[in-house]
Amino acid sequence: MNTHAKTSTSELARALIDARSRTLALVADLTDEQLMGPRLAIVNPLLWEIGHAAWFQEKWVLRRDNAGSVREDADALYDSMAIPHDSRWDLPLPSRADTVAYMQQVLDRILEQLNTIAPDDEDAYFYHLALFHEDMHDEAFTYTRQTLGYPRPQFGGGSQEVQTGGGPLPGDVEIPGGTFLLGATSDLPFVFDNEKWAHPVEIRPFRIARAPVTNSEFVVFVDDKGYLRREFWSDEGWRWREKVGGEHPVYWHRVPGAHWARRCYDEILPLEEHQPIIHVTWYEAEAYCRWARRRLPTEAEWEVAASAEPTPDGRGLSGHKRRFPWGDEPAFAGRGNLDGRAGGCIDVGALPDGDSSFGCRQMIGNVWEWTSTTFGPYPGFVADPYKEYSQPWFGTHKVLRGGCWVTRSRMIRNTWRNYYTLDRRDVLAGFRTCAGR
């Protein structure tokens, strides 16, 4: 646990209120039937999931001293580690009104505790854990709405203009080799256990794309029958493709005139040429790279491109590591497409003020980026109190980096590691490529 760069009590309170406001906004327009939805492996019933978000906060903030629950049946209803996924539709869930009332009771008690007792470092860790857990579920709600074809989400809170144009951004940048400290440092306000701690890795010189792969670039692969050509797919990837019958990204549709469109929530839209490809599996990213004679970056290469700075002669890596691509300050306006402000992805050429020191764009925000790295522990890994966050998934997931257009800016940074199984295409994920070795 680490909370050296303290967040003020008032900032924590505002963030917790903001997260809850977003949670409720993301389900406010849905019917009771939509709140339950179909039984699918990649979604939860939303009525269960919003209650679970409150239960998690209660468990890790209010009940650390073995205090009783706001609801006697809360553990039986919402403990995700004890309740099998497929059974969550069969639980005697409270009504929408009763669920929202439970959520409000939990939040009120947390805010009262926060305003009564100034949190020490250990307390602050659990407040942040509860906050970011809800932020991650809010992001997952946007995936669910897309998966189920619900209307585009309307996010609560104020909105800001985000530059959406900008066109493509072709070409690579050169990254020099050298020693690099991969992972988080102890001066960050909150660090997940899988980011701990920064450790030296040796990086060979490489070339990485300035921007993620775009829809127009991916179209060429699809139209070249890339999905049907066995030579571009690993054995496991080909088995996945045959199982789902994949011939193009999951939400794409061919329209008259040989053009492509895509389903975006409950609408069919023309395919946006210069926006990043999104909703693709790791297998699809791998196959595209083989077709293009490129490769996915390792997560260490990704983090170098996002956070390292060159030495004055440009031949090596300096000792300074940036917290964000553009520098050390979380000045996201005009630099990252985050927080749902744009309502979707934007052109990969937008937001040049967010470039890394090497000239890579949008490494924070817009679209999650698959890497070639299998999710695993850093040297000396020790699980944090929430032991189920990282350790159970080592060895079975691939690492994604950078956040997407709905990721909360208060949570994301260059060292943040996301991870999903290789077959997930509901995630707001795309990829950028490296030149082959």
Residues 376-407 have pLDDT tens digits of 999 999 999 999 999 999 999 999 999 999 99
Question: Is the pLDDT assigned to residue 331 strictly greater than 90?
Answer: no
The architecture of the domain spanning 164-244+275-437 is: Alpha-Beta Complex (3.90)
Residue range 65-90: mean pLDDT, rounded = 94
pLDDT for res 163:
82
The C-alpha torsion from 314 through 352 and 326 to 204, rounded to 10°, is: -40
Residue range 34-54: mean pLDDT, rounded = 98
pLDDT for res 164:
82
189 band by pLDDT with thresholds 50, 70 and 90: confident
Question: Is the pLDDT assigned to residue 3 strictly greater than 50?
Answer: no
State whether residue 331 is helix, strand or coil. Answer: coil
Residue-wise pLDDT tens digits, 252-302 = 999 987 689 999 999 999 999 999 999 999 999 999 999 999 999 999 999
Give the chain's count of helices (H) and strands (E).
Answer: 10, 15
pLDDT for res 272:
96
Residue range 169-196: mean pLDDT, rounded = 95
67 band by pLDDT with thresholds 50, 70 and 90: confident
The CA distance from 115 to 190, in Å, is 20
Residue range 17-44: mean pLDDT, rounded = 97
Residue 184 vs residues 38, 296, 320, 325: alpha-carbon distances, Å: 39, 22, 13, 14
pLDDT for res 1:
47
Tell the CATH topology of 9-147.
Four Helix Bundle (Hemerythrin (Met), subunit A) (1.20.120)
pLDDT for res 257:
78
Domain boundaries, the chain: 9-147, 164-244+275-437
DSSP 68-121: PPSSTTHHHHH-TTTS-GGGTTSS-PPPHHHHHHHHHHHHHHHHHHHHHS---H
156 band by pLDDT with thresholds 50, 70 and 90: low
Question: Is the pLDDT assigned to residue 200 strictly greater than 70?
Answer: yes
The CA distance from 230 to 402, in Å, is 30
Question: Is the pLDDT assigned to residue 158 strictly greater than 80?
Answer: no
Residue 211, token pair as written in the block:
């921007």
Q: Please name which of 164, 176, 156 lies closest in space to residue 357, comparing C-alpha atoms.
A: 176
